[in-house]
């Protein structure tokens, strides 16, 4: 049984921070869930999907984008059903228009917005500090520190949302989303509300004429009411101490801070742990600050707490010295090491000897070791597509990059990628640039899910403005990078269930694209020819759809439904000229190098190979051999043909 | 207070994350509290992956003290009581988390990074890697766990349980073998084989002399 579905209050299970948020939703009686997947918050959507059988009343969807997802959750709230929308931090840029209005128009049932942030940007193109949105949208923001708080604060967020008539944001950085540990369960609601009901509320829902001003005022009043009640909300707490230097922190940084203080031997410092970081209560902050000589604020990324605290204390006349971003970096992740180091310098205390030693010696010991960057998975159709694009262009075109697994084409061996910013930056930037450059060709990339997210308006614009570019849609049928959520082009689920895919070709035709070709990426020669042909046509938007299912999903599928034939690829050493086309230029990790008395040779590691066949198709020496074996029902295997 | 921190490192797809999950589930079986974040690279494959496993618990009668019990998801520098590395280079890459008392288990099975494959850099000599790690701690245990799994079980599926057995034998994890086995039974198919692999791991761990340098063939 899925441990998240257990109704055993007090039981401790192993859960990821994201799972804890799912469980919080269940315990709060959630009825509607929407998301656009994005690391680090993707597993929340997967969590609800996995619980569909046990909780059939919860509508769960992977929406087309965050804007749609947020609107959907607002609609459910207005139908008096508790709703949650989740996204990664940059998704907030897309959803923010909806969420501004959600603050103005208010909620009916609790509406919680979960934002997975990514300090350090380990899986994002930006590490923007999303907490600032709360100052602009007037949405309260909670910052849980632990897996347990991720669940408990989620429930609290629903209560606050209803009490103060505002959507509430729950911010979870990647190191909380992906923290896996003990979670103690609460109880599930005895009854769930299956259906909602809409009631007209024109004074809140119609933002016209005087209504928008009145709603602006109401949003301000709501946040003011919450501000006054903060001490009653009990999301903040103080670890008391007699020290004259106090600390304020929130989120996972609180735990880093406590560990750093212990390492530095500081046992008497008062520490204020903020669970709600907007709005702040003036009495609480001034009560903590009064009597202290100095306050050090420890927060990841920018000085969101510091900005508010300094502003708030200014009005009270308290002038306790405050240090925050003066001493801590405003970018990148924090951890115990960074905080201990900064505090040791600031407070004039030595670092523990073993830590000091580890930091010094490790730098020497790791000098010159090779970096390890990501690569396409074995059997990935994008690898084959990129190989063909590089061969067809010799990199002598502008490569308009975008967000998806194919972003890896910026790395060796391909290096065929000139920019990546936000979703649909490929066609979007290229079609404007093309109005002002001459004699240069552009290939833009987009994945299927990114295309549907916000690419269609860009392509329409490119067509309307006569931008001359080749658009390669890398359609692998899934939102692969975030863990294989369905995309609008998913045609068959992993268990063989037929889906309802969007007809990309029909869509492109209807918006005026005249040149549309499909390629099978593993058919390298045909793919190279197709890219060359598309580049040769000089006018308009030419679309190549590189259509092949994500290799990981393909591998899962054949485990469930084994094919009739099994295939093997082998390198014939006698014919291999060691030309490196497969080993370096394609760079498939299943092709390995080994040594014998005659020098080095290449072979295909059978247990790793996914049988995509790209290497055979590109081998200029015909040295790669394909063997097909028919699998009979049962265990017997018989060689059928060798080609 | 009970505190024990394990850092698991490897490459995406090697099972570092699932090894961490077993060690965490075993802790819950044991009645300990456990936390620990994962660091996953941006990519599905070939990227660096680490899993932090941090155990904590109160001794009998010990009062709760938030200043001691606040434990983050990441092990600080020099903080790892144990490191299990699924790959030699990755053990060296994460050497900052070790101290002179750390126990290190390394799977002597190099995986070549793309940067080496395309000739931009070279993979350091393995003996050089191990001697650098030994400058920090003497308690280094090196075994070709892939090879052992292949030769003894005709499969790579026992790498994780073999590693668990070695770790259990050479370290001081606050876990009983029973809790580990109960978790293995719950999480992996083919319990008989995995139980045998766990026992073999313990045997290998016990028989290897402290600081054993010779990689198993």
Tens digits of residue pLDDT in A113-134: 999 999 999 889 999 999 999 9
Dist. CA A446–CA A406, nearest whole Å: 8
Tokens coding A642: 């060798």
Fold exhibited by the domain A563-642: Alpha-Beta Plaits (3.30.70)
Dist. CA A350–CA A356, nearest whole Å: 9
Q: Do B118 and A584 touch (CB under 8 A)?
A: yes
Tens digits of residue pLDDT in A503-523: 999 999 999 999 999 999 999
Categorize the per-residue pLDDT at A544 as very low, low, confident or very high, splitting at 50, 70 and 90. very high
Cα-Cα-Cα-Cα dihedral sign, residues A182, A278, A163, A198: negative
B-chain residues near A14 (CB < 8 A): 21, 24-25, 28, 34
Q: Whole-number mean pLDDT of chain A? A: 95
Q: Do A180 and B36 touch (CB under 8 A)?
A: yes
Per-residue pLDDT at B43 exceeds 50: no
Tokens coding A220: 């301000």
**Partner B contacted by A584 (CB < 8 A):** yes
Q: What is the pLDDT of residue A493?
A: 86
B-chain residues near A412 (CB < 8 A): 114-115, 118, 120
Greater pLDDT, B7 or B41: B7
Residue of B nearest to A377 (CA): B45
Q: What is the pLDDT of residue A128?
A: 98
Categorize the per-residue pLDDT at B214 as very low, low, confident or very high, splitting at 50, 70 and 90. very low
**Partner B contacted by A366 (CB < 8 A):** yes
Q: Euclidean distance between the first and final Cα of chain A, in Å?
A: 47
Tens digits of residue pLDDT in B48-105: 899 999 999 999 899 988 888 899 999 999 999 999 999 999 999 999 999 999 999 9
* Residue indicated by tokens 């509607």: A32
The model carries a pTM of: 0.95
**Partner B contacted by A254 (CB < 8 A):** yes
Min Cα distance B133 → chain A (Å) is 8
ipTM reported for the complex, 2 dp: 0.94
- B43, B126, B134: best to mutate for the A interface, most A CBs within 10 A: B43
**Partner B contacted by A415 (CB < 8 A):** no
Min Cα distance A102 → chain B (Å) is 33
Categorize the per-residue pLDDT at B44 as very low, low, confident or very high, splitting at 50, 70 and 90. low
Per-residue pLDDT at B212 exceeds 90: no
Q: What percent of chain B has pLDDT over 90?
A: 75
Of A135-139, A565-569, B213-217, the range with the highest mean pLDDT is: A135-139
Categorize the per-residue pLDDT at A637 as very low, low, confident or very high, splitting at 50, 70 and 90. very low
Dist. CA B106–CA B140, nearest whole Å: 8
Residue of B nearest to A407 (CA): B43
- Strand A83-88 to A32-35 pairing: parallel
B-chain residues near A354 (CB < 8 A): 78, 99-100
Q: Do A359 and B136 touch (CB under 8 A)?
A: no
Domain positions in chain A:
3-233, 237-365, 381-555, 563-642
Categorize the per-residue pLDDT at A175 as very low, low, confident or very high, splitting at 50, 70 and 90. very high
Per-residue pLDDT at A541 exceeds 90: yes
Q: Are A402 and A417 in contact (CB under 8 A)?
A: no
Residue of B nearest to A122 (CA): B42
B-chain residues near A336 (CB < 8 A): 72, 74, 76-77, 79
Mean pLDDT of A276-303: 97
Q: What is the pLDDT of residue B213?
A: 44
Q: Are A639 and A627 in contact (CB under 8 A)?
A: yes
**Partner B contacted by A258 (CB < 8 A):** yes
- Strand A111-117 to A168-173 pairing: parallel
Q: Do B46 and A374 touch (CB under 8 A)?
A: yes
**How many other CB atoms are there within 10 angstroms of residue A213's CB atom?**
11
Nearest CB to A175: which of B41, B74, B78? B74
Half-sphere exposure of A593 (CA within 13 A, CB side): 18
Per-residue pLDDT at A307 exceeds 70: yes
Chain A from 140 to 159: CB within 8 A of any B CB = 146-147
A-chain residues near B98 (CB < 8 A): 358
Tell me the DSSP string of A15-49.
EEHHHHHHHHHHHTT--EEEE---TTTHHHHHHHH
- B12, B21, B77, B79: best to mutate for the A interface, most A CBs within 10 A: B77
Tens digits of residue pLDDT in A327-368: 999 999 999 999 999 999 999 999 999 999 999 999 999 999
- Reply yes or no on domain A3-233 having CATH 3.40.50.970: yes
Q: Write out the CATH class of domain A237-365.
A: alpha beta
Q: What is the pLDDT of residue A180?
A: 97
Tens digits of residue pLDDT in A616-628: 999 999 999 999 9
Tens digits of residue pLDDT in A432-474: 999 999 999 999 999 999 999 999 999 999 999 999 999 999 9
Dist. CA A405–CA A478, nearest whole Å: 11
Q: What is the pLDDT of residue B211?
A: 46
Nearest CB to B113: which of A260, A370, A552? A370
- Strand A469-475 to A442-447 pairing: parallel
B-chain residues near A338 (CB < 8 A): none
Q: Whole-number mean pLDDT of chain B? A: 91
Per-residue pLDDT at A191 exceeds 80: yes
Nearest CB to B67: which of A179, A267, A412? A267
Residue of A nearest to B43 (CA): A374
Residue of B nearest to A147 (CA): B35
A-chain residues near B10 (CB < 8 A): none
Residue of A nearest to B98 (CA): A358
Residue of B nearest to A408 (CA): B43
Q: Do A178 and B37 touch (CB under 8 A)?
A: yes
Q: Do B92 and A181 touch (CB under 8 A)?
A: no
Nearest CB to B114: which of A267, A362, A412? A412
B-chain residues near A359 (CB < 8 A): 77-78, 96
A-chain residues near B132 (CB < 8 A): 365
**How many other CB atoms are there within 10 angstroms of residue A190's CB atom?**
7
Of A141-150, A191-200, A485-494, the range with the highest mean pLDDT is: A141-150
Categorize the per-residue pLDDT at B131 as very low, low, confident or very high, splitting at 50, 70 and 90. very high
Q: What is the pLDDT of residue B15?
A: 86
A-chain residues near B71 (CB < 8 A): 255, 259
Q: Do B92 and A369 touch (CB under 8 A)?
A: yes
Q: Do A365 and B95 touch (CB under 8 A)?
A: yes
Dist. CA B169–CA B185, nearest whole Å: 19
Q: Do B44 and A262 touch (CB under 8 A)?
A: no
DSSP H helices, A381-451, are: 381-393, 425-433, 448-450
Residue of B nearest to A413 (CA): B118
Q: Are A127 and A331 in contact (CB under 8 A)?
A: yes
Chain A from 311 to 340: CB within 8 A of any B CB = 335-337, 340
Dist. CA A591–CA A372, nearest whole Å: 18
Distance of CA A305 to the CA centre of its chain: 24
A-chain residues near B179 (CB < 8 A): none
Categorize the per-residue pLDDT at A642 as very low, low, confident or very high, splitting at 50, 70 and 90. very low
Categorize the per-residue pLDDT at A275 as very low, low, confident or very high, splitting at 50, 70 and 90. very high
Residue whose C-alpha is closest to residue B54's, from B105, B8, B107: B8
**Cβ burial, residue A103 (10 Å; 0-12/13-18/19+):** buried
Q: Do A365 and B92 touch (CB under 8 A)?
A: yes
Q: Are A571 and A623 in contact (CB under 8 A)?
A: yes
Min Cα distance B81 → chain A (Å) is 13
DSSP assignment letter at B42: S
Q: Which CATH number fits domain A381-555: 3.40.190.10, 3.40.50.970, 3.40.1160.10, 3.65.10.10?
A: 3.40.50.970
- Reply yes or no on domain B2-61+70-116+124-207 having CATH 3.40.920.10: yes
Q: What is the pLDDT of residue B41?
A: 59
Per-residue pLDDT at B185 exceeds 60: yes
**Partner B contacted by A343 (CB < 8 A):** no
Nearest CB to A181: which of B34, B90, B135? B34
Tens digits of residue pLDDT in A63-96: 999 999 999 999 999 999 999 999 999 999 999 9
- Stretch among A8-17, A92-101, A275-284, B205-214 having the lowest mean pLDDT: B205-214
Half-sphere exposure of A76 (CA within 13 A, CB side): 27
Residue whose C-alpha is closest to residue A100's, from A207, A199, A21, A210: A207
Chain A from 424 to 453: CB within 8 A of any B CB = none
Q: What is the pLDDT of residue A481?
A: 87
Contacts by residues A591-595 (CB-CB < 8 Å, ≥ 24 positions apart): A591/A615, A593/B112, A593/B117
Residue of B nearest to A125 (CA): B42
Q: Are A241 and A271 in contact (CB under 8 A)?
A: yes
Q: Euclidean distance between the first and final Cα of chain B, in Å?
A: 41
Residue whose C-alpha is closest to residue B58's, from B5, B10, B1, B9: B1
């Amino acid at each position: 049984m899925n441990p998240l579905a257990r109704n055993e209050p007090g039981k401790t299970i192993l859960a990821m921070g994201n799972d804890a948020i799912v469980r919080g939703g269940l315990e709060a009686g959630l009825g509607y869930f929407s998301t656009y997947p994005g690391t680090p918050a993707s597993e929340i959507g997967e969590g609800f999907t996995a619980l569909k059988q046990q909780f059939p009343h919860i509508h769960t969807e992977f929406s087309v984008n965050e804007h749609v997802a947020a609107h959907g959750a607002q609609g459910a709230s207005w139908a008096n059903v508790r709703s949650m929308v989740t996204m990664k931090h940059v998704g907030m840029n897309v959803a923010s228009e909806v969420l501004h209005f959600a603050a103005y128009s208010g909620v009916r049932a609790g509406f919680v917005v979960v934002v997975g942030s990514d300090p350090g940007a380990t899986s994002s193109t930006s590490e923007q500090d999303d907490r600032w949105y709360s100052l602009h949208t007037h949405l309260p923001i909670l910052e849980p520190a632990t897996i347990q708080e991720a669940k408990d604060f989620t429930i609290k967020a629903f209560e606050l949302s209803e009490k103060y008539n505002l959507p509430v944001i729950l911010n979870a950085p990647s190191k909380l989303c992906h923290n896996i540990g003990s979670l103690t369960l609460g109880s599930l609601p005895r009854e769930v509300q299956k259906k909602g009901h809409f009631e007209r509320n024109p004074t809140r829902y119609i933002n016209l004429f005087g209504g928008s001003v009145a709603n602006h005022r109401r949003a301000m009043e709501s946040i003011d009411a919450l501000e006054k009640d903060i001490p009653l909300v009990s999301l903040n707490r103080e670890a008391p101490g007699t020290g004259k230097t106090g600390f304020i922190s929130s989120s996972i940084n609180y735990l880093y801070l406590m560990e750093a203080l212990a390492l530095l031997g500081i046992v008497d410092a008062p520490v204020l742990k903020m669970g709600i970081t907007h709005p702040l209560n003036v009495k609480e902050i001034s009560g903590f600050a009064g009597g202290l000589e100095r306050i050090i604020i420890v927060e990841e990324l920018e000085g969101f707490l510091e900005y508010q605290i300094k502003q708030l204390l200014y009005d009270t006349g308290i002038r306790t010295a405050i240090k925050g971003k003066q001493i801590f970096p405003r970018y990148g992740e924090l951890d115990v090491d960074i905080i201990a180091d900064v505090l040791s310098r600031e407070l004039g205390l030595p670092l523990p000897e073993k830590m000091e030693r580890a930091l010094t010696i490790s730098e020497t010991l790791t000098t010159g070791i090779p970096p390890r960057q990501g690569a396409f998975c074995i059997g990935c159709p994008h690898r084959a597509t990129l190989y063909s694009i590089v061969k067809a262009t010799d990199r002598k075109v502008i490569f308009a990059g975008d967000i998806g697994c194919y972003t890896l084409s910026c790395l060796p061996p391909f290096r065929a990628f000139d920019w990546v910013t936000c979703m649909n930056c490929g066609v979007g930037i290229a079609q404007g640039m093309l109005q002002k450059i001459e004699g240069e060709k552009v290939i833009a990339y987009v994945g299927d899910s990114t295309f549907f997210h916000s690419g269609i308006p860009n392509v329409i614009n490119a067509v309307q403005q006569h931008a001359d570019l080749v658009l390669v849609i890398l359609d692998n049928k899934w939102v692969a990078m975030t863990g294989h959520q369905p995309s609008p082009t998913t045609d068959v689920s992993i268990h063989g269930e037929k889906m309802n895919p969007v007809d990309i070709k029909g869509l492109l035709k209807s918006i005026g694209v005249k040149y549309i070709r499909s390629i099978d990426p593993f058919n390298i020669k045909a793919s190279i020819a197709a890219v060359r042909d598309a580049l040769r046509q000089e006018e308009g938007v030419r679309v190549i759809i590189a259509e092949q299912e994500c290799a990981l999903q393909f591998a899962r599928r054949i485990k469930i439904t084994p094919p009739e034939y099994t295939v093997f690829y082998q390198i014939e050493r006698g014919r291999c000229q060691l030309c490196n086309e497969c080993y370096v230029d394609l760079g498939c990790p299943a092709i390995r190098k080994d040594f014998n008395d005659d020098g080095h040779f290449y072979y295909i590691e059978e247990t790793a190979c996914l049988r995509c066949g790209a290497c055979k198709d590109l081998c200029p020496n015909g040295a790669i051999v394909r063997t097909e074996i028919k699998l009979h029902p049962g265990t017997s295997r018989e060689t059928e043909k060798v080609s | 207070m009970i505190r024990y921190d394990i850092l698991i490192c490897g490459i995406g797809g090697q099972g570092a994350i699932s090894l961490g999950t077993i060690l965490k589930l075993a802790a819950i079986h044991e009645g300990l509290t456990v936390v620990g974040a994962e660091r996953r690279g941006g990519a599905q494959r070939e990227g660096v992956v680490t899993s932090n496993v941090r155990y904590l618990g109160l001794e009998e009668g010990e009062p709760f003290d938030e200043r001691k019990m606040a434990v983050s998801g990441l092990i600080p520098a020099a903080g790892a009581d144990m490191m299990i590395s699924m790959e030699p280079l990755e053990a060296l890459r994460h050497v900052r988390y070790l101290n002179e008392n750390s126990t290190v288990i390394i799977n002597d099975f190099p995986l070549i990074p793309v940067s080496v494959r395309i000739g931009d850099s070279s993979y350091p000599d393995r003996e050089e890697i191990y001697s650098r790690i030994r400058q920090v701690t003497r308690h280094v245990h090196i075994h070709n766990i892939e090879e052992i799994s292949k030769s003894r079980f005709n499969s790579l599926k026992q790498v994780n349980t073999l590693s668990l057995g070695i770790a259990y034998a050479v370290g001081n994890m606050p876990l009983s073998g029973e809790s580990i086995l109960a978790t293995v039974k719950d999480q992996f198919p083919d319990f008989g084989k995995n139980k045998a692999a766990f026992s073999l791991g313990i045997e290998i761990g016990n028989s290897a002399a402290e600081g054993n340098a010779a990689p198993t063939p």
